[in-house]
Chains A and B, each alone.
Chain A
Amino acid sequence: MREMTADPYLGKYITCVSARSTDKEILKKAQDGGIATALMVYALEEGIIDGTIVAGEGDRPWEPRPIVAMSREDILKARGTKYSISPQIAWLKEATRSFGLDKVGVTGVCCQMQAVRKAQLYPINMRDVPGKVALTVGLFCMENFPYKSLQTIVEDHAAQSLGSVKKMEITKGKFWVHTERGNVSTVPLKATHKYEQPGCHVCLDYVSSLADISTGSVGSPDGWSTVFIRTKKGNEVWSKAVAAGMFETKPIEDVKPGLELLTKLAKEKIDKNRKTLEERRNFGVNKALRDPYA
């Protein structure tokens, strides 16, 4: 096994590659390289997990709803980024109860990976959870939006009907909205800042540092993902999946823009949010706001 890298902005990892799934059906609706979907499908088929929490379809268009998926079909339903809050961890304990799972998979963003690890080390009314988390796949995440924010951005700023949207994307300084009929609208990110979820402004993780495997868009070309293999479990699953032909991979060093851009964005996020945390210490007059990391 390769020596562990410990990067102050990218977290601890064994290796980092650019990758995409070889499963054409998965790629059809995947946000990027189909890594999260392909990994969970592979883990399910190999018996590494017997179910996984994914962001399924909610009641309103583009509103995610966490579900416990126990089939390839249900996992595939969760493809594509929904830029709104999906309380994934709400099902973590239930997955080990009425669902009767022994090996639970969890997908989610950085803070949700943190929640899983906290539940594993400090299980507070989380009986059985520590030993039954089998695989976590974390997404990179810069910030998230409440549903009403997403509605405002798409319907007002981008002037699109949510029901017509095929894909949303935040990249190259813009919020992109692609419609089913082929239209593309963009919103400058600057206009979206005020709609961000405030709780995201104290987040010190960009690349899901606590996941077994983390994956995201930045650093790799369109249709590909940047993937960090972090834990022993992650390494075992990834190695087997690659050997089984589940993924095309390239060393991240051979890919543009690669780790340089990723590190830059991670640093921007963490530095900005550290500053926010700092400011919270003197938010009032001789009064501070609470610091969860203190």
Chain B
Amino acid sequence: MEMLNSIKKTVGGEGKPTQVATEKKMEATMEAKPVANKIKLGHVHLSGCTGCLVSTADNNLGFIKILDNYADLVYSLTLADVRHVPEMDVALVEGSVCIQDHESVEEIRETREKAKIVVALGSCACYGNITRFSRGGQHNQPQHESFLPIGDLIDVDVYIPGCPPSPELIRNVAVMAYLLLEGDEDQKALAGKYLKPLMDLAKRGTSACFCDLMTEVINQGLCMGCGTCAAACPVRAITHEFGKPQGERDLCIKCGSCYGACPRSFFNFEVIDEFEDISEIIAEALK
């Protein structure tokens, strides 16, 4: 609690000036001196649909705020004219990798070399998702048949699962990555705790399915029938029969959302118990 209170006081960019004089002074210097210590953020687009980038942009003014105060977008073919993967603090990688496409394989390898933190953004990058069903045979690269989640080619630090990933989760990870790299000790500690389950998911593996709910939750004696998985599923493949998940596995696109959202996959009390304070900290940072 103490720690969270001290963080609340320090996050929030220029903060709330108490005197008008200070406010005017800041306005005057704002253009002359750009915000210091922004992290370098990149968006790397592999075999994805750009929906993950759209989700990022769907943070609306929150995204602009992040770009104003916390991060420079140093690479994003969709939004900027930088042609080659530069050095990045955080690489948001969307899409899986076609291993028969030389350029793609090179790009993911280079991303790992150039980025401090590699984030698998969205379910294609994390788990393969719909590209799990690819098997080649289509014009005009019928040999482009094998797609792997990026974690099968490089080490991935953080997962943001979801198809589409929630804008709010992308925003939280961006803010927390900033705090991790540029914050004081308390902020770093908070960011580390926040990101841990998303790092654990990255360590856990690269495949996902409705079946995760069976093998990792129900089969493990952990399901308590809360219904969250059904809400998270983007294709309504999950219903509840007598309080337990029923999966329509031919509908499932293997995005991993249900297991990720399930409160019996990871439930880190030390973070979630502080939901009120952490929500305020994030809101304050985006004010």
Contact = CB atoms under 8 A, between A and B. Distances in A.
A210 B273 contact: yes
A247 interface: no
B167 to A, nearest CB: 6
A123 B228 contact: no
25 contacts: A6-B1, A85-B225, A85-B242, A86-B227, A87-B226, A87-B243, A90-B230, A112-B226, A117-B272, A121-B172, A121-B279, A122-B197, A124-B162, A124-B169, A124-B257, A125-B165, A125-B257, A127-B166, A127-B168, A199-B223, A201-B221, A209-B273, A292-B222, A292-B267, A293-B268
A289 B257 CA distance: 22
B232 interface: yes
Contact of B167 (A66, A92, A127): A127
Contacts of B264: 199, 202, 292
B18 to A, nearest CB: 22
Given A92-B228, A114-B263, A131-B168, A232 B268 contact: no
A14 B272 CA distance: 18
Interface in B206-236: 216, 220-228, 230-234
Interface residues of B, number: 54
Contacts of B271: 121
Given A90-B227, A115-B226, A199-B224, A120 B279 contact: yes
Contacts of B31: none
A137 to B, nearest CB: 16
Contacts of B263: 111, 114-115, 118, 292
Contacts of B275: 117, 120-121, 210
A204 B169 CA distance: 26
Interface of A: 4, 6, 12, 66, 84-94, 108, 111-112, 114-115, 117-131, 144, 146-148, 197-204, 209-210, 231-232, 289-290, 292-293
A210 B243 CA distance: 22
Q: Which of A111, A115, A120, A201 has the most CB of B within 10 A?
A: A115
